[in-house]
A and B are shown apart, each in its own frame.
Chain A
């Protein structure tokens, strides 16, 4: 009897943790988008106002980035600084590929960044500024939709995890 109770409690705890993990994804996605917007606005300042070299600009702006986008920027800076015979667009696409199946990065941000990578550093200051404004606008829309999704689904996955654990425990009891 005691073993049954202990194993039921274990099943419930594990399923609840699974639910919490699933619902945490939505919070993490919002944080990621916010970090990304910070980095990009910093990058915009570096490029438009200070005319820094692109590698240095990316390195400076991604110094304090947290979350899932950090390896992406680190990878770009490393590849560009070691002069591995890449253009920025190629490095950008290749680094981005590592984030394709990341659960905390949605397809929408992925595609926005993919398109942005082709335009970064390929025109004069005025159009660069316009591209930055465009991407900020797009990311803002994504952030809002991520917030809505969190309101809707975060609580659901949390409850679903606990109820699933209870269900399995009751059926096996």
Chain B
């Protein structure tokens, strides 16, 4: 289990928060919304493999084949 990905996700989160603030301050609400969405998608892409692993583990633990 790699712990690095947690730090990476945290960094992306902080970055998106700052970006959001900068864009809101400049009066570009729709761009701020878009960057937030892009951040969510990027993080989702990072963790999609891990979620897959989690589901597979659950399946094998409870014998749901």
Contacts and interface: CB of A to CB of B under 8 A. Distances in A.
A153 B19 CA distance: 14
B27 A152 contact: yes
A167 B25 contact: no
Interface residues of A, number: 12
B40 interface: no
Contacts of A166: 15
B26 interface: yes
Interface in B1-59: 8, 11-12, 15, 18-19, 22-23, 25-28, 42
A153 B15 CA distance: 19
B12 A171 contact: yes
Nearest to A155: B26
Contacts of B28: 156
B3 to A, nearest CB: 14
Contacts, number: 30
SS class, residues of chain B in contact with chain A: helix
A155 B18 CA distance: 13
Contacts of B18: 159, 163
Interface of A: 152-153, 155-156, 159-160, 163, 166-167, 170-171, 173
A74 to B, nearest CB: 37
A156 B12 CA distance: 19
A135 to B, nearest CB: 30
Contacts of A155: 26
A170 B26 contact: no
A4 B18 CA distance: 24
A29 to B, nearest CB: 17
Q: 8 tightest CB-CB pairs across the interface, nearest first?
A: A156-B26, A159-B22, A170-B11, A163-B19, A167-B15, A152-B26, A166-B15, A156-B22
Contact of B22 (A160, A170, A171, A173): A160
Contacts of A171: 8, 12, 42
Contacts of B15: 163, 166-167, 170
A166 B39 CA distance: 13
A159 B28 CA distance: 14
